[in-house]
């Protein structure tokens, strides 16, 4: 069954993984094998999986042209920002957006990574997720390359 439209797929079986690679489809035997491997790995590491949504959970992003007049001071150079915003507010000119990390997000990620194998999720595209991962996890110690995107 197609996970996008719900239509039955007669000549093709398995599951598509287009978010990993366009056109990737795994048959049921391979999915079963991978699932068993993952379960064994998870049990050996004694870590559960935790999927964290980017937007409105780990951070907030907005397009620069959507900012109100009251928010325009945030577009100023980082040195002129209030102390509480330094290190958590980022202007990404090439994407025409501002992103603010949630308070204490780095502490949360550090502590959660000790208990969980974490995945980043966004309805946005992969390019957006990669840029947000650079802000949240520049050393790739929490998420690595584990992200699920549109």
Per-residue confidence (pLDDT) for residue 77, from 0 to 100: 63
Q: For the whole model, what pTM was predicted?
A: 0.68
User: How many of the other CB atoms lie within 10 Å of CB of 78?
Assistant: 11
State how far the alpha carbon of 42 is from the alpha carbons of 39, 51, 91, in Å.
5, 14, 37
The half-sphere exposure of 126 on its side-chain side, counting CA atoms within 13 A, is: 9
List, run by run, the mean pLDDT of 10-residue segments along the chain (150 residues). Answer: 62 66 76 85 85 94 81 67 69 87 94 94 91 94 90
Q: Parallel, antiparallel, or unpaired: how do β-strands 116-121 and 97-101 relate?
A: unpaired
What is residue 101's predicted lDDT score, i.e. its pLDDT?
93
- Which structural domains are found in the chain, ordered by start? 1-45 (no CATH), 47-148 (3.40.50.1000)
Question: What is the C-alpha to C-alpha distance for residues 33 and 63, in angstroms, rounded to an integer?
Answer: 42
DSSP state letter for 102: P
């Amino acid at each position: 069954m197609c996970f996008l439209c719900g239509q039955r797929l007669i000549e093709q079986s398995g599951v598509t993984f287009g978010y990993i690679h366009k056109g990737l489809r795994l048959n049921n035997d391979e999915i079963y094998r991978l699932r068993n491997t993952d379960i064994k790995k998870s049990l050996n590491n004694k870590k559960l999986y935790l999927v964290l949504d980017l937007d409105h959970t780990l951070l907030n992003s907005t397009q620069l042209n959507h900012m109100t007049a009251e928010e325009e001071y945030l577009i100023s150079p980082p040195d002129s920002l209030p102390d509480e915003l330094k290190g958590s507010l980022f202007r990404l000119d090439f994407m025409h957006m501002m992103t603010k990390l949630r308070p204490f997000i780095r502490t949360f990620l550090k502590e959660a990574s000790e208990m969980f194998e974490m995945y980043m999720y966004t309805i946005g595209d992969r390019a957006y997720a990669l840029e947000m991962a650079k802000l949240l996890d520049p050393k790739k110690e929490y998420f690595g390359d584990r992200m699920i995107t549109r």
